[in-house]
Amino acid sequence: MKIIGTGSALPSKIVTNDMLSEFLDTSDAWIYPRTGIRHRHVISDEKLEDLAISAAKKALDNAGMKAEELDFIICSNVVNEYVTPSLSCIIQGGIGASCPCLDINCACAGFIYALDIAETHYQAGKVKNVLIVCAEEPTRMTSWKDRSVCVLFGDGAGAAVLSEGDNIKGIKLSAASATDKLYQIRTLEPTPYVTKEEQDIPLQMKGQDVFKFAVKASSGDIKYLLDGLGMKADDIDHYLLHQANKRIIKSIEDFLGQPEEKFPTNVETHGNSSSASCPILLDECNRKGILKKGDKIAMSAFGAGFISGAAIMEW
């Protein structure tokens, strides 16, 4: 398969670090050096489904494809206002497609997991055109009283249209269960049979553990793919990494011994938008003309689980 179109959509509300310090004991002087984030786009009265549909329409437009031509839609999402139906079903209706669709929850690594699921469908000869949409609103998962978590995230949606080709050279998925490091718990409807006390717990994170896992997993996944493909880190033109933290990206740069110019970022302006981060960055690089035909791209992401994934492709 190959990616033939990309799209993205961001909430209109921009929240700067200084705006956060109006109601939290935090500052730009703390946030920026530790994360590289200056501001983020935050859902206000928009609906995530509308951002997802907008990103999907832009990707179809970029690919020159009609929604009716799609054979499958994969949506990566951790939370949205619907528990059911799936967000992919809502997107399917919103863009006017009629193909089967599926939601996955692979946290921030969702785009890479979606690529892998799509590839399996291509290999089975079941699809010609696939739409991947990653839509996330992590700012609705955190407590806005918890300065250690809420300052890190932003919302948005990114999409990619796939068609037949052999541009995806390799995908590596990993998982290592560590559910106490990054999690959110929500209560379900009460029943006469549940007697234990339940309570909602907003997103909790052991930041330093996540940091160490992220660097190790991302570096390891990329190295595994490079070795398997007989490639060197120098052979890659662009490293499009999950935009969680500039220092994590810098550590991966150092591990691979590659120059900063090969690592485009938007964490400065978007924060961490979970699985939407990679396809939003891909779309921005695509539209800016940074990606040239034949360029080699490595993508990599990590998140709650822990899970991680990387992909190497030719543009």
d(C-alpha 39, C-alpha 16), whole Å? 4
Number of residue whose CB is nearest ligand UT7: 207
Q: Is the dihedral of CA 313, 308, 239, 67 positive or negative?
A: positive
Nearer to ligand UT7 (CB atom), residue 144 or residue 211 = 211
When asked if residue 303 is in the footprint of ligand UT7 (CB under 6 A), the reply is: yes
Vertex 105: Cα angle to 77 and 83 (nearest 5): 65
For ligand UT7, which residue of 177, 191, 195, 208 counts as binding (CB under 6 A)?
Answer: 208
When asked if residue 4 is in the footprint of ligand UT7 (CB under 6 A), the reply is: no
Nearer to ligand UT7 (CB atom), residue 141 or residue 236 = 141
For ligand UT7, which residue of 13, 14, 19, 34 counts as binding (CB under 6 A)?
Answer: 34
Q: Would you please indicate which residues are annotated as catalytic (active-site) residues?
A: 108, 242, 272
The count of residues interacting with ligand UT7 (CB under 6 A) is 20
Structure token pair of residue 248: 């994590």
Which residues, numbered 37-76, are part of the site for ligand UT7 (CB under 6 A)?
A: none
C-alpha distance from residue 145 to each of 22, 24, 31, 268, 280 (Å): 12, 7, 15, 22, 28
Nearer to ligand UT7 (CB atom), residue 2 or residue 34 = 34
For ligand UT7, which residue of 53, 134, 214, 312 counts as binding (CB under 6 A)?
Answer: 214
Secondary structure, 3-state, 244-311: CCHHHHHHHHHHHCCCHHHCCCCHHHHCECHHHHHHHHHHHHHHCCCCCCCCEEEEEEEECCCEEEEE
d(C-alpha 181, C-alpha 208), whole Å? 9
Helix (H), strand (E) at residue 31: helix 28-35
- Calculate the CA 140 to chain-centre distance: 16
Least CB distance from residue 27 to ligand UT7, whole Å? 6
For ligand UT7, which residue of 82, 183, 211, 255 counts as binding (CB under 6 A)?
Answer: 211
Contact call for residues 145 and 202 (beta carbons, < 8 A):
no
When asked if residue 144 is in the footprint of ligand UT7 (CB under 6 A), the reply is: no
Least CB distance from residue 162 to ligand UT7, whole Å? 24
What burial class does residue 102 get, using C-beta atoms within 10 Å of its C-beta: 0-12 exposed, 13-18 middle, 19+ buried? Answer: middle
Instruction: Pick the closest to residue 171 from 241, 231, 119 (CA basis).
Output: 119
Contact call for residues 286 and 55 (beta carbons, < 8 A):
no
When asked if residue 101 is in the footprint of ligand UT7 (CB under 6 A), the reply is: no
Nearer to ligand UT7 (CB atom), residue 13 or residue 250 = 250
For ligand UT7, which residue of 120, 123, 148, 187 counts as binding (CB under 6 A)?
Answer: 148
When asked if residue 147 is in the footprint of ligand UT7 (CB under 6 A), the reply is: yes
Nearer to ligand UT7 (CB atom), residue 6 or residue 142 = 142
When asked if residue 35 is in the footprint of ligand UT7 (CB under 6 A), the reply is: yes
Least CB distance from residue 297 to ligand UT7, whole Å? 20
- Calculate the CA 44 to chain-centre distance: 20
Contact footprint for ligand UT7 (CB under 6 A): 26, 30-31, 34-35, 108, 147-148, 151, 205, 207-208, 210-211, 214, 244-245, 248, 272, 303
